[in-house]
A and B are shown apart, each in its own frame.
Chain A
Amino acid sequence: MEKRVTVKSERDEYRLFRSRAIVAAILVFIALLLVFVRLFFLQVTHHDYYTAKSKENYQKKIPIPPVRGLIYDRNGVLLADNHIEYVLEAAEDDVSDMKGSLKRLMQLLPITPLEVNKFKQKLRVNSRFQPVVLRQNMTENEIALFSENRFRFPGFKISVRMQRNYPLGSVASHLLGYVGRIDKKDLKKVDSNEYKGTTHIGKSGIEKYYESRLHGKAGYEVIEVDAHGKPQLKLAEQAPIAGEDLFLSIDLRLQIKAEELIKDYNGAVVAIDPRNGEVLAMASMPTYDPNLFVDGISYRHYNALRSNPDRPLYNRALQGSYPPGSTVKPMAALIGLNAGVVTPSSSVYGKGFFQIPGNRHRFRCWKKSGHGHISLNRAIYQSCDVYFYDLAFRMGVKRFSKGMEKFGFGQKTGIDLPHERTALMPTPEWKRKRYDRFWYPGDTVNMGIGQGYFTATPLQLANAVAIIANHGRRIKPHVLRAVRISRNLPEKLVTPEKLPSIGVTKLRYWNDVIRGMVNVVHGERGTARRSGAGAKYRFAGKTGTAQVFGIAQNKSYNASKLRKKLHDHALFVAFAPVDNPRIALAIIAENAGGGSKVAAPIARQLLDTYLLDPKENEKNDENIKKPSDSSPTLINANKIKRQKTEKKKPKRATN
């Protein structure tokens, strides 16, 4: 059995096997060499590619949003800052019983089903390790309640976030604008890398215009994550750089005063420092609280703002196109003088109306009896319509429009705020395009008194008055006064941008027109003489009363019989002091009636507020009270009175 005899040749079989084994050994080597070549390809020639891929796998860059820059007024009063907000949040992976926890949380805290739904929705979208906010703006009470019961809600925690805050509420809201949650449209406009961690972006006003300065530079944190996205450790970090702090040219004292004075009307006030183009105040009424927008305005609030017929969201100072009325007469006079159409001494006979030769239509003067023989000076301070009908008619529309455009009408001033309107300085071409009609000479006549198609924004008016105050020197109006890059560095002033001067070269013309404007307020028969009375400085002004609708040839304007919306707009423009102007302003109060009655007194109060040193006023008050020291009872009475009044006053109203 052990050695079976076969026909096989052991030796041959051994040889056969050995040769096969050698071939196999060679083939094995070749096959494994091929695999090794593949390894070489992966580990040497494509090493960099796979290293990058590997890093892509496990390195996650987490953006750290920068702190938004603060906004101050020119004196360093805070207008917009960031305050700390407490939120309740949780990551899906950290909560074992999400359903039960939410149910118990709703019993503990006033969490609405809407908040819960939003939370659940975000949980689904976000990574399981990323915390999602359940409740924002936790009150102290809520925080305390939660902290006591925190053991019942493993995984839920209170976190701190920065939220934009406007401490003064509605003050200067149109100017400041507001921030809101970033949407897809916003992201298209900015470097999305810089905004990865940012939740809010400037939506209007300064917040929007200077978004790039306010936002700052995002930082980041590189962390190591595993395949499930769970963070392991921090690999690198780059701190964010806070946004720049902005100092606006706004004088908060003047701004608040302006808002107070026009709060009963829809309207706007714009005040500019003619020396450098700094906007000192820009008020628009009615207004709104920008804080409402910061964390997503509720539908109810937004709808209320949107559907309000007074349009509180709309910045009348920049966007309101109003017929400027008689406030443009000084500018009209200047271009008339420069064109040689009128001279300072020439006069026109005002018989209460103006007629184009060969036409029976009467362009009426506000004074039915007429001004009689009237010169330029008196035409301004008495606001004679006929004089300016005649001036515009004789200049012709082309020369008139061109001249007025030099004062900035019909074009943007270029102020550093978004959504500025051009309003309208009409031309025959414009009318043909807009209405497909010819230009009538009557259209030109109406423009002479700032009516007809001619409209202007309050900002344009204030700017035009500033140009007069400057004798034709033009400076672009602007709101940003200074910038502070870091808290440790001094703020850097913004250089005003000078524009080419107006081509009215004769100093005399300026003086003649300004004399007329001074007489408006200081002259015995000036239209706003009551507002000029008792002023401690001399100022120049011009009233305006703009018709909102046309009155038929044979009818007269009777406010009591008209709906409020059809009442005249009251306008006033002014600059002061006359010899060294420091402030130029324009006021419009919609449907408020006459400019001299409503707008001029407001202007006077604003000029007083700005030009008279408030400290001096206080000193004067004290001086008056000091002699009464001798009488103790009186002191006490006074003290009590003062304390009472001080208590009533809100903090910001310092004078």
Chain B
Amino acid sequence: MNTGDFNFSKLLLRWLTSIDLVLVVAIILLIFLGTITLFSATGENQAMMNTHTIHLILATSIMLIATQLSSEILNRWSIWVYAFGVLFLVLVLIQGSMGKGAQRWIELGGLRFQPSEVMKLAVPMMVASYFSKKTLPPSFKDIFIASLLVVIPMLLIVKQPDLGTALLVGSAGFFVIYFAGLPWKWLLATLIAGIIAAPLIFYFGMHDYQRQRVLTLFNPDADRLGSGYHIIQSTIAIGSGGVYGKGWLKGDQSRLDFLPERHTDFIFAVFGEEFGLLGNLILFSLYIFIIWRGLYLATKGEDTFARLLGGGLSLTFFIYLLVNTGMVSGVLPVVGVPLPLISYGGTSLVTLMAAFGLLMGMRKRKKRSNH
């Protein structure tokens, strides 16, 4: 008779207990900073702010749903999510080669959907799932198989081409391997191999425009109006912000349209220009706090799968931040990676919030053990 009522309150309770209030407050603060920055960066565009609000509501809902997924369920789903993800990546490539040009999207019953975005979650899930069935630290064979699981979708994404997402997907998988117990000397060996491979990748593994971006990083003035323009303008924006910033809505670089992509990938420059080094200090503190909290929550995971996935997702969040701020401040090449939770755009916001939902949901629950 009143089972429905009972069920509802039980559900609410479950939700409330699955949320980590500390992390949520930090995220809300960050989203607040992001929203006011976005308001400035869009030139106080009401329509875009409305869309942004819808994105936030959507992302929050998905986060709340994600909190309800237990480590066990996720572990079971991993293989399927991963398999469909790879399948769709292949479909995207086929669609691209069938003459529709470079594409990242796929249409499914009127719904546009970006498989590479799903892979940001699917790859660490798959790798975590794989390791959860093995004894850790893993054997060479396990690491090799896990690496394949990472590299296959990564290469498919690189082919699209979407270097930014490939990088994020790759690092998400890699971090899970790291947490699973990749031996330190291997890690070191990988690093050295990477350094050696870098020039090879540069000369043989990159598109011309990608190579240009790397070159631009070292000498943005060589192509002032071309690929160097972004970096020149974003460093001017940040640099001219100074310690205290020019003030909210008063960033000349962004206000007067000198800063390209200022509400998406280059929004960090708007923030730096308007809020200065002090603003950056607050922003970075918030970010570090969220990453650390993420890592902490991961250690509280129900099982190995939960820990590995949680750790991987936390560090992926960090990679977002590092690549974006590094690129905007002119120390890393320009790669299409948004500033997490701040850049305009629903896709990455949903993925990130879903990841936080998973992270919070997979914790050991004291109240549940009472049940």
A31 CA to B238 CA in the complex, in Å? 19
In the assembled complex, A616 has its CB within 8 A of some CB on chain B: no
- Sample 22 A-B pairs with CB under 8 A, ordered by A number: A13-B136, A16-B181, A17-B308, A20-B178, A20-B179, A24-B175, A24-B295, A32-B288, A35-B322, A35-B325, A40-B277, A42-B238, A42-B272, A43-B238, A43-B272, A43-B276, A44-B277, A47-B240, A51-B242, A57-B233, A57-B236, A226-B256
B287 cross-chain contacts in A, Cβ below 8 A: 32
One digit per residue, 1 when the CB lies within 8 angstroms of any chain A CB and 0 when it does not, for chain B 323-350 equals 0011001110000000000000000000
In the assembled complex, A299 has its CB within 8 A of some CB on chain B: no
| A20 adjacent to B181 (CB under 8 Å) | yes
A228 cross-chain contacts in B, Cβ below 8 A: 257
- Which single residue of chain B is at the shortest CB-CB distance from A4? B133
Asked if A24 meets B238 with Cβ closer than 8 Å, knowing A16-B137, A38-B331, A43-B272, the reply is no
In the assembled complex, A18 has its CB within 8 A of some CB on chain B: yes
In the assembled complex, B202 has its CB within 8 A of some CB on chain A: no
In the assembled complex, A554 has its CB within 8 A of some CB on chain B: no
A46 CA to B288 CA in the complex, in Å? 26
Those of A3-53 within 8 Å (CB) of chain B: 6-8, 10, 12-14, 16-18, 20-21, 24-25, 28-29, 31-32, 35-36, 38-40, 42-44, 46-47, 49-51, 53
In the assembled complex, A307 has its CB within 8 A of some CB on chain B: no
| B299 adjacent to A8 (CB under 8 Å) | no
| B291 adjacent to A28 (CB under 8 Å) | yes
| A50 adjacent to B256 (CB under 8 Å) | no
A51 CA to B246 CA in the complex, in Å? 10
Besides the known contacts A38-B331, A53-B236, 16 further A-B residue pairs in the complex with CB atoms under 8 A apart = A8-B135, A17-B304, A21-B296, A28-B291, A28-B292, A35-B329, A39-B280, A39-B325, A42-B272, A42-B329, A43-B239, A43-B243, A51-B240, A57-B252, A57-B258, A58-B258
| B253 adjacent to A20 (CB under 8 Å) | no
- Which single residue of chain A is at the shortest CB-CB distance from B322? A31
| A225 adjacent to B292 (CB under 8 Å) | no
B331 cross-chain contacts in A, Cβ below 8 A: 35, 38
Neighbour of B240 across the interface among A16, A20, A53, CB < 8 A: A53
Asked if A43 meets B288 with Cβ closer than 8 Å, knowing A13-B136, A54-B236, A57-B252, the reply is no
In the assembled complex, B15 has its CB within 8 A of some CB on chain A: no
Those of B223-246 within 8 Å (CB) of chain A: 233, 235-243
A28 CA to B325 CA in the complex, in Å? 13
Asked if A32 meets B236 with Cβ closer than 8 Å, knowing A44-B277, A47-B242, A232-B256, the reply is no
One digit per residue, 1 when the CB lies within 8 angstroms of any chain A CB and 0 when it does not, for chain B 189-233 equals 000000000000000000000000000000000000000000001
A10 CA to B304 CA in the complex, in Å? 8
| B243 adjacent to A44 (CB under 8 Å) | yes
A32 CA to B175 CA in the complex, in Å? 17
Q: Which of the listed residues A10, A13, A31, A40 has the most CB atoms from chain B within 10 Å of its own CB?
A: A13
Nearest-CB distance from B208 to chain A (Å)? 26
Those of B92-121 within 8 Å (CB) of chain A: none
B237 cross-chain contacts in A, Cβ below 8 A: 54
Neighbour of A224 across the interface among B236, B238, B256, B325, CB < 8 A: B256
| A21 adjacent to B239 (CB under 8 Å) | no
In the assembled complex, A227 has its CB within 8 A of some CB on chain B: yes
In the assembled complex, B298 has its CB within 8 A of some CB on chain A: yes
- Which single residue of chain B is at the shortest CB-CB distance from A36? B284
Residues of A within 8 A of B (CB): 6-8, 10, 12-14, 16-18, 20-21, 24-25, 28-29, 31-32, 35-36, 38-40, 42-44, 46-47, 49-51, 53-54, 57-58, 224-228, 232
| A58 adjacent to B242 (CB under 8 Å) | no
Counting residue pairs across A and B whose Cβ atoms lie within 8 Å, the total is: 141
One digit per residue, 1 when the CB lies within 8 angstroms of any chain A CB and 0 when it does not, for chain B 300-320 equals 000110011001001100100
B354 cross-chain contacts in A, Cβ below 8 A: none
- Which single residue of chain A is at the shortest CB-CB distance from B244? A43
Q: Which of the listed residues A8, A18, A43, A224 has the most CB atoms from chain B within 10 Å of its own CB?
A: A43
A49 CA to B242 CA in the complex, in Å? 11
| B295 adjacent to A21 (CB under 8 Å) | yes
| B299 adjacent to A21 (CB under 8 Å) | yes
A58 cross-chain contacts in B, Cβ below 8 A: 252, 256, 258
In the assembled complex, B169 has its CB within 8 A of some CB on chain A: no
Asked if A28 meets B318 with Cβ closer than 8 Å, knowing A21-B295, A38-B331, A228-B257, the reply is yes
Residues of B within 8 A of A (CB): 133-137, 175, 178-179, 181, 233, 235-243, 252-253, 256-258, 272, 276-277, 280-281, 284, 287-288, 291-292, 295-296, 298-299, 303-304, 307-308, 311, 314-315, 318, 321-322, 325-326, 329-331
A226 CA to B272 CA in the complex, in Å? 19
| A43 adjacent to B280 (CB under 8 Å) | yes
A16 cross-chain contacts in B, Cβ below 8 A: 136-137, 181
- Which single residue of chain A is at the shortest CB-CB distance from B255? A226
| A227 adjacent to B236 (CB under 8 Å) | no
| A25 adjacent to B292 (CB under 8 Å) | yes
Nearest-CB distance from B262 to chain A (Å)? 11
5 smallest beta-carbon distances between A and B, as pairs = A50-B239, A54-B240, A227-B257, A226-B256, A42-B239
| A29 adjacent to B179 (CB under 8 Å) | no
B135 cross-chain contacts in A, Cβ below 8 A: 6-8
A387 CA to B179 CA in the complex, in Å? 123
A25 cross-chain contacts in B, Cβ below 8 A: 291-292, 295
Nearest-CB distance from B234 to chain A (Å)? 10
- Which single residue of chain B is at the shortest CB-CB distance from A21? B295
B136 cross-chain contacts in A, Cβ below 8 A: 8, 12-13, 16
B291 cross-chain contacts in A, Cβ below 8 A: 25, 28
Q: Which of the listed residues B239, B295, B308, B318 has the most CB atoms from chain A within 10 Å of its own CB?
A: B239
A44 CA to B134 CA in the complex, in Å? 51
| A50 adjacent to B280 (CB under 8 Å) | no
B239 cross-chain contacts in A, Cβ below 8 A: 42-43, 46-47, 49-51, 53-54
B238 cross-chain contacts in A, Cβ below 8 A: 39, 42-43, 50
A21 cross-chain contacts in B, Cβ below 8 A: 179, 295-296, 298-299, 311
A36 CA to B288 CA in the complex, in Å? 12
- Which single residue of chain A is at the shortest CB-CB distance from B276? A43
Asked if A42 meets B235 with Cβ closer than 8 Å, knowing A7-B135, A17-B308, the reply is yes
| B322 adjacent to A43 (CB under 8 Å) | no
- Which single residue of chain A is at the shortest CB-CB distance from B256? A226
| B240 adjacent to A18 (CB under 8 Å) | no
A224 cross-chain contacts in B, Cβ below 8 A: 256
A14 CA to B304 CA in the complex, in Å? 7
B243 cross-chain contacts in A, Cβ below 8 A: 43-44, 47
A25 CA to B178 CA in the complex, in Å? 13
| A43 adjacent to B277 (CB under 8 Å) | yes
Asked if A24 meets B181 with Cβ closer than 8 Å, knowing A32-B322, A43-B241, the reply is no
- Which single residue of chain B is at the shortest CB-CB distance from A8? B135
Nearest-CB distance from A224 to chain B (Å)? 7
- Which single residue of chain A is at the shortest CB-CB distance from B135? A8
A8 CA to B134 CA in the complex, in Å? 7
A32 cross-chain contacts in B, Cβ below 8 A: 284, 287-288, 318, 321-322, 325
Nearest-CB distance from A182 to chain B (Å)? 30
A14 CA to B326 CA in the complex, in Å? 33
A50 CA to B311 CA in the complex, in Å? 39
Asked if A17 meets B256 with Cβ closer than 8 Å, knowing A10-B304, A39-B277, the reply is no
B304 cross-chain contacts in A, Cβ below 8 A: 8, 10, 13, 17
| B257 adjacent to A28 (CB under 8 Å) | no
B277 cross-chain contacts in A, Cβ below 8 A: 39-40, 43-44
Q: Which of the listed residues A14, A28, A31, A32 has the most CB atoms from chain B within 10 Å of its own CB?
A: A28
Neighbour of B288 across the interface among A18, A28, A226, CB < 8 A: A28
- Which single residue of chain B is at the shortest CB-CB distance from A16? B181
| A14 adjacent to B307 (CB under 8 Å) | yes
A51 cross-chain contacts in B, Cβ below 8 A: 239-240, 242
Q: Which of the listed residues B235, B287, B321 has the most CB atoms from chain A within 10 Å of its own CB?
A: B235
A51 CA to B276 CA in the complex, in Å? 12
B318 cross-chain contacts in A, Cβ below 8 A: 28, 31-32
A42 CA to B179 CA in the complex, in Å? 35
